[in-house]
Amino acid sequence: MTDVRVTHLGGPTTLIEVGGWRLLTDPTFDPAGRRYDFGWGTSSRKLTDPARTPGELPPIDAVLLTHDHHGDNLDGAGRALLPSAGTVVTTTAGARRLGGTTRGLAPWAVTRLEAPGRPTIEVTATPARHGPPLSRPIVGAVVGFALRWAGQRHGIVWITGDTVLYGGLRRVPERFPVSVMLLHLGGVRFPVTGPLRYTMTARKGVELCRLVRARTVVPVHYEGWAHFRQDRDAVDGAFAAAPDEVRGSLRRLPIGAPATVTV
């Protein structure tokens, strides 16, 4: 049995601690108030401060960055943190932009985190589509991450990344049993593009959970920004109406408070 400690720091940002490793997802640490331009006439304002500052974090062994080109997944303070992390893993396009030793992964590509005295963590990039069909040339590439190491009893840890529900996402549970899923939600949309969604709604998240059958589902990326259109109440309502096995998998983490889950 392997215990993982997960701390939701706000937005998509989580600290995952297991076997001596400290992994940080999508670092966003700017204070509230700034407006960020996402391109093509879209923008958003950050509404809440992060639960911790980078200086309050322990040393980070690896950053798992689903994409580097949107400020709600990598902001200024998060970008400044990257050089101090042991490893940064992101999209192939993101690795070209960030340079240095950043590891770029296409969907289904694999890299490994290795260190003496720690379990080797196999990191597989999983498919993601950050918008409607044919939107990738506009919104850019995104990946999720499947984390696997020896001793997992129930399956992987899966970080979905910012994505809508589509065929590529449905292939993940066909390849891996999933124990813990960090589920990016928010139902993102922008006035300039009307009803189009750029991340899953809570209802679509429940649909994915029915396919995945994860033991533990941790919703992230649903609060703290103006372009997130579905907040905690929407997430709670969708899961309350879900089948028993899905409803029972929901694990809401208070922002900034570590919680232990078993994989």
Tell me the three-class secondary structure of 185-224, residue by residue. CCCCCCHHHCCCCCCCCHHHHHHHHHHHCCCEEEEECCCC
Gyration radius from the chain CA atoms:
17
Kindly compute the dihedral angle of the four CA atoms of residues 133, 138, 139, 145, in this order, to the nearest 10 degrees. 70
The pLDDT score that the predictor gives to residue 17 is: 98
CA distances from 123 to 17, 112, 170 (A): 15, 6, 18
Contacts 24+ apart (CB under 8 A), 47-51: 47/224, 47/225, 47/226, 48/10, 48/223, 48/224, 49/10, 50/9, 50/10, 50/11, 50/13, 51/7, 51/8, 51/9, 51/10, 51/255, 51/256
pTM value surpassing 0.95:
yes
- Tens digit of each residue's pLDDT, the chain (263 residues): 589 999 999 999 999 999 999 999 999 999 999 999 988 888 899 999 999 999 999 999 999 999 999 999 999 999 999 999 999 999 999 999 999 999 999 999 999 999 999 999 999 999 999 999 999 988 999 999 999 999 999 999 999 999 999 999 999 999 999 999 999 999 999 988 999 999 999 999 999 999 999 999 999 999 999 999 999 999 999 999 999 999 999 999 999 999 999 99
Q: Are 60 and 86 in contact (CB under 8 A)?
A: yes
Tell me the three-class secondary structure of 48-77, residue by residue. CCCCCCHHHCCCCCEEECCCCCCCCCCCHH
